Amino acid sequence: MTQLNAPVMSEAKPITDAWTILPSWLPVPGLGVLAVNSFLLKCAEPVLVDTGLAALGGPFVSALQREIDLDDLRWIWISHMDADHVGNLERILEKAPNAAVVTNFLGMGKMQMAGLDVSRVRLLEPGRALEAGGHSLVPVRPPYYDAPETVGFFAPRERVFFAADSFGALLPAIVDDVAQVETGTLREGLVGWSSIDAPWLANVDRADLGRTLSTLDRLAPGFLLSAHLPVFPGDVSSLTRCVAEAYCHDQARTPDTLSLDYVAETRDDFTSSSPTQGDYVMNRTNFRPATTGSTIERNRDTAQRFLSGTHSRDIADVEVIDETVGPDIVCHGFPGFEITDHETYKDFFRTFRKSFSDMNWTLHALVADENYVTARWEIQATFSGDFAGVKADGRRVTFDGMVMYRMENGLIAETWLHINELMLLRQIGALTAMAA
């Protein structure tokens, strides 16, 4: 085992004829070291799984280039948007012009919020695998995780299971092979890292977690790939057993001093005998929400009314902007338009409608929380007015996109828009005109 004082990139190693690990290590002061792994599927359409630590950008890209010509890279699978998984995404996209980013709807939304380019995103469709050069990567939610957009996969051709952050472990020092780690040390490392990365496991339904772990045992992957553990080959039951013993069995546990239950039980000033409307009522014997309108539902309703009005067949319906948008609106992703208030926002939709009329608009998904609403939509329209230097010819076009709204007091305060411009420009012939 090797001690570590700074992040370091290790040599890439083959896992199977098709799969390779790109390992690195991160020191965790006072706790040991943590593996930070990316993986490469070498096939007719190569797939890179996660992009490593930004602090190791140069060594990471060099290690990847020793394995593959980046012009050949076709897919970049992003398990979730944590910094140790997307650290070199922009750098690789610059060097891999033919690569598309694979993520889900929430992952794309987080990319856009982080200022990352989403024009090359390929959204994972529910229930559908990514087909890459004769390999199927079947999206799977790992047994546990730290970010809601997390998506792993099972690749049945070589029985490879990518578990994202699941089964990560803090280790005393760098190891070349997980077999070098004693069983007790591995168990302590698994529990130690999961308590940091997924502290909700202490409150999870034990039966549900146990069933998930048993299902993984029955799946019997030939190789378990974790972002934070050396490759684990063969029988995974020793890993799942460690997690089950820690979280699925009745035993004494270290109290979570940040949990509401703990605080309610240990502080006399945390009780309330006179709840007010809109508050949550907590005492030592009950926990009930006071009756009040839901902020989430209000945000959802505002976004739906805005989208329905601005995409209505009747352009007059854009007046809904006065009812749904805050006075100091900030807009991103509207090239050629400077939107600073309600009227300039309305002008954008009026101008766009002159180019694309007779609109049919479909809302495919809408996700809301207390602060944000994200929507994915599709538009079918008639190309009725010149656009992007191309003369209108009356053809029907179809394009999709997504938008994210930041909400304040039930109104839209900030907007991030992404239209699938490549899809639209291809259909109206703009790409051919540009090439000419």
Percent residues over pLDDT 90 in the chain: 53
Q: Is the pLDDT of residue 234 over 60?
A: yes
Q: Is the pLDDT of residue 281 over 50?
A: no
Given pLDDT bands bounded at 50, 70 and 90, which one contains residue 261?
low
- Residues 15-28: tens digit of each pLDDT: 999 999 999 999 98
- Can you read off the two tokens belonging to residue 266? 């240990």
- The pLDDT score that the predictor gives to residue 4 is 67
Beta strand spans in 156-313 (E): 160-162, 170-171, 223-226, 229-233, 280-282, 287-289
- The pLDDT score that the predictor gives to residue 272 is 47
Phi then psi dihedrals of residue 87, to 5 deg: -55, -35
- The pLDDT score that the predictor gives to residue 418 is 83
- The pLDDT score that the predictor gives to residue 278 is 41
Q: How far, in Å, CA of 381 to CA of 358, rounded?
A: 5
CATH topology identical between 8-247 and 295-435:
no
**Which of the residue ranges 45-49, 68-72, 355-359 would you say has the lowest mean pLDDT?**
355-359
- Residues 353-406: tens digit of each pLDDT: 888 888 888 888 888 888 889 988 889 999 998 877 788 899 999 988 889 999
Given pLDDT bands bounded at 50, 70 and 90, which one contains residue 168?
very high
| Contacts with 181 (C-beta within 8 Å, 6 or more apart), sequence order | 169, 171, 175, 189
Q: How far, in Å, CA of 109 to CA of 115, rounded?
A: 10
- The pLDDT score that the predictor gives to residue 3 is 59
Q: How far, in Å, CA of 361 to CA of 405, rounded?
A: 18
Instruction: Report the pLDDT averaged over residues 282-294.
Output: 40
- Residues 293-329: tens digit of each pLDDT: 478 889 999 999 999 999 988 888 899 999 999 999 9
**Residue ranges covered by each domain of the chain:** 8-247, 260-289, 295-435
Beta strand spans in 270-355 (E): 280-282, 287-289, 325-332
| Contacts with 202 (C-beta within 8 Å, 6 or more apart), sequence order | 195, 247, 253, 256
Place of tokens 């190693």: 13
The SS3 call for residue 144 is: coil
Q: Is the pLDDT of residue 436 over 80?
A: no
Q: Is the pLDDT of residue 288 over 50?
A: no
Tell me the CATH number of domain 8-247, given options 3.90.170.10, 3.90.550.10, 3.60.15.10, 3.30.70.260: 3.60.15.10
- Residues 83-118: tens digit of each pLDDT: 999 999 999 999 999 999 999 988 998 998 888 888
Report the predicted TM-score, pTM, of the whole model to 2 decimal places. Answer: 0.64
Tell me the CATH number of domain 295-435, given options 3.30.70.2080, 3.40.50.150, 3.10.450.50, 3.40.50.620: 3.10.450.50
| Contacts with 261 (C-beta within 8 Å, 6 or more apart), sequence order | none
- Residues 102-161: tens digit of each pLDDT: 999 889 989 988 888 888 999 987 778 999 999 999 999 999 998 999 999 999 999 999
Instruction: Report the pLDDT averaged over residues 261-274.
Output: 52
Given pLDDT bands bounded at 50, 70 and 90, which one contains residue 74?
very high
Rounded to the nearest integer, the mean pLDDT of the chain is 85
More confident residue, 234 or 426: 234
Instruction: Report the pLDDT averaged over residues 346-352.
Output: 90
